[in-house]
Amino acid sequence: MPSMTRSLAPGTASAVALPPSTETSGSALPCITSVGARTALRASVLFSVGFLVLLGYIVLWPRLHRAPLKTGPVAVTVRQEPAPAVIPALKYSTILVTLDHSDADRGALANALTLARANGSRLILLHVEEGVSAQLFGSQASTAEITEGEEYLGGIAASLEQQGIPVEVVVRHGKSPTHEITAAVSEHHPDLVVMAQHGHKGLKDIIFGTTINSVRHRIAVPVLIVSGNTTKRT
């Protein structure tokens, strides 16, 4: 690079500004680079140390400040469960038993008798006459079948009375057993109705099963359905 000269007035000091030489600039660059690297290294070390300190604080702090275990008796609060509600026992003062002069009557009467003895109940023996003459003449009808039915019910009533069970015999006439049984329940207000399930197959099962289902859906009284040696409460 050519040297620069400047003429000065007489009596002033001579000052010449020279640009930095190429050699001087070249030697300063490595020095600056070295200082920057040391600064970055120092910052990295400080960051690593700070991170390790923070990590140790997070891990060790809960362990160092854990509450000491208490010795001696400890108070324990026991939650008391509410006592179960008391379910009142039912008392059957009046039990209505439907009879149709068949073998199934025996099971219905046996269950009704057991309940009557346990509750001191009165039994109502209900039979529905469905014959043509019964439908036409009602209680005035008189046939051999009706006479036989009356004797059948009378014999059962006498046997129960000998065992100390109050008995009432009710005979209704009509073509619909469901209607007559429902009407008898509304009239006598029993606490329980006992009905026998005949166990028929085919058409008879549909007829008798329909009667039981229709009755139990029309009355607001518990129904005990007796089937063979088993009982079902609905």
pTM: 0.57
Check: CB of residue 212 under 8 Å from CB of residue 104.
Answer: no
What sign for the dihedral angle of Cα 47, 50, 51, 52? positive
Measured CA to CA, the distance from residue 223 to residue 97 in angstroms comes to 10
For 198, the token pair is 């005949």
Measured CA to CA, the distance from residue 190 to residue 26 in angstroms comes to 122
Check: CB of residue 120 under 8 Å from CB of residue 178.
Answer: no
Measured CA to CA, the distance from residue 231 to residue 37 in angstroms comes to 98
pLDDT tens digits for 104-153? 899 999 999 999 999 999 999 999 887 655 454 445 455 566 677 788 99
pLDDT tens digits for 52-99? 888 877 777 766 666 565 666 767 777 777 777 788 888 999 999 999
For 9, the token pair is 């007035």
User: Secondary structure of the chain: what % helix, strand, coil (to 5)?
Assistant: 50, 15, 35
